[in-house]
Amino acid sequence: MKLNLILFAVLIICALTTVNFKHLTRSNFATLDEENKKTLDLKDQQTMLRIEESSESRIEIIEQTAKHKLNMHIPKKTEKKVIIR
């Protein structure tokens, strides 16, 4: 009888431990899923920033080429003319 009570207590402890580990696993999986979503969002943001940076650098290269090689400049107010048809 005493052995049965000890085994029953061990069984209850094992069952509670199993339930606790399953709960922790589910919680950790949910946290992992959230972090994966954040990672994907950050990767998308990084890609957008790199695209923006590359387009800005192309604009700078075009402006430098226009200024130095083609001797172009931004026109002043007196140099601008409006053409109306």
Closest to 63 measured CA to CA, from 54, 50, 74: 74
DSSP 69: T
pTM for this structure? 0.54
Please name the residues in contact with 42: beta carbons below 8 A apart, sequence gap of 6 or more. none
The model's pLDDT over 24-63, given as tens digits with 9 standing for 90+, comes to 999 999 999 999 999 999 999 999 999 888 887 788 888 8
